[in-house]
Amino acid sequence: MENCNQAENGRLTLEPVAWYRGDLPDKFGLPRQSGLVPQLQGHVEMGEGFRQPEMLRGLEGFSHVWLVWGFSRNHTWSSTVRPPRLGGNTRLGVFATRSPFRPNPLGLSLVELDHIEWEGPQGPVLWVKGADLMDGTPIYDIKPYVPYADARPEARSGFAQGADRTLEVQVPAELLQKLPEEKRAALAGILSQDPRPHYQKDPRRIYGLTFDRWNVRFRVEETKVRVLSIEPL
180 and 70 in a common domain: no
Task: Give the whole-angstrom CA distance, residue 98 versus residue 174.
Answer: 39
222 and 195 in a common domain: yes
Residue 162 in domain: no
Our count of domains for the chain comes to 2
Answer whether 233's CB lies under 8 Å from 213's CB.
yes
DSSP classification of residue 27: S
50 and 107 in a common domain: yes
66 and 33 in a common domain: yes
Residue 2 in domain: no
Beta bridge partners of 39: none
133 and 24 in a common domain: yes
176 and 145 in a common domain: no
Say which residues have a Cβ less than 8 Å from residue 96's Cβ, sequence separation at least 6.
Answer: 158
Domain that holds residue 207: 168-232
117 and 11 in a common domain: yes
CA 232 from centre of chain: 23
Residue 163 in domain: no
Answer whether 135's CB lies under 8 Å from 24's CB.
yes
Residue 157 in domain: no
Residue 1 in domain: no
Residue 201 in domain: yes
Residue 201, domain CATH = 3.30.2310.20
Residue 156 in domain: no
Answer whether 132's CB lies under 8 Å from 34's CB.
yes
Residue 122, domain CATH = 2.40.30.70
180 and 81 in a common domain: no
pLDDT at position 1 is 47
Task: Give the whole-angstrom CA distance, residue 70 versus residue 226.
Answer: 33
Task: Give the whole-angstrom CA distance, residue 18 versus residue 67.
Answer: 10
Beta bridge partners of 194: none
pLDDT at position 158 is 87
Task: Give the whole-angstrom CA distance, residue 83 versus residue 98.
Answer: 8
Averaged over successive runs of 10 residues, the pLDDT of the chain (233 residues) comes to: 60 92 95 95 96 96 97 84 80 90 92 95 94 97 97 88 85 95 96 87 92 96 95 95
CA 134 from centre of chain: 6
Residue 59 in domain: yes
Task: Give 113: exposed, middle or buried? Use CB within 10 Å, 0-12, 13-18, 19+.
Answer: buried
Task: Give the whole-angstrom CA distance, residue 76 versus residue 73.
Answer: 10
119 and 35 in a common domain: yes
141 and 222 in a common domain: no
69 and 177 in a common domain: no
Please identify, among 150, 182, 209, the residue that sits at the C-terminal boundary of a domain. 150
212 and 113 in a common domain: no
